[in-house]
Amino acid sequence: MIQRKEFDKDLEELRSLLQQMSEHVTNALEGAVSALQHLDTTRAQEIVKADLRLNAMEDRIMEIGSKLIITQQPVAKDLRRIIVAFKISSDLERMGDLAIDVAKVTMRIQGQQLIKPLVDIPRMAEIVNVMIKESIVAYLDENTDLAYKMAQDDDQVDHLYSAMITELYTFLTEKPDALNQVMLLTLVGRYIERIADHATNIGESVVYLVTGKRPDLNQ
């Protein structure tokens, strides 16, 4: 009984850490896109520096989960809970890296003006941040319906990304001297689109946690 209480306590810490990681990522992405919109390099630099905290949380999750596997030898769903925590923390850490990549684009555009007001990028980021929040709620509540919703939201992000690419290349035919910034903004769209893929991965992990089978929601 004591061992089970300790096991449940450690599992709860894993859940709490994953929730904290998701909040860190949503704040980083929101801040990075805002920094880009306003070409605020100071804020962009702060986002880059804050990444160490996210890495520390991922390390703590690995430490707790490894200890549980070694000392408790969990099976069935208890083992899946730990495996899923590892996978989700990895996805969140990668999302954080991609948010930093967005912030770094602001630093590379420093001293310039944006070639056009940003429309699709903030909209993509808005949808993606909802995906991150809902994917973690799906994990905490073991809600497979919400997990499957990630695929629909990911499609929205893909469509926006495609529209953004088309618009930027059309813009480039009129103003070929804007090539460098067009390429950088294209990268930002790609970074955000990849974050959406990682949120979809979390949805897959939730379905695996509940059912023991992993679907491919990115198809």
The pLDDT tens digits for 126-180 are 999 999 999 999 999 999 999 999 999 999 999 999 999 999 998 888 888 889 9
Tokens of 219: 């198809």
pTM here is 0.94
Tokens 């970074």 map to which residue? Answer: 191
What confidence score (pLDDT) does residue 171 get?
A: 87
11-15, 25-29, 75-79, 133-137: which range is least confident on average?
A: 75-79
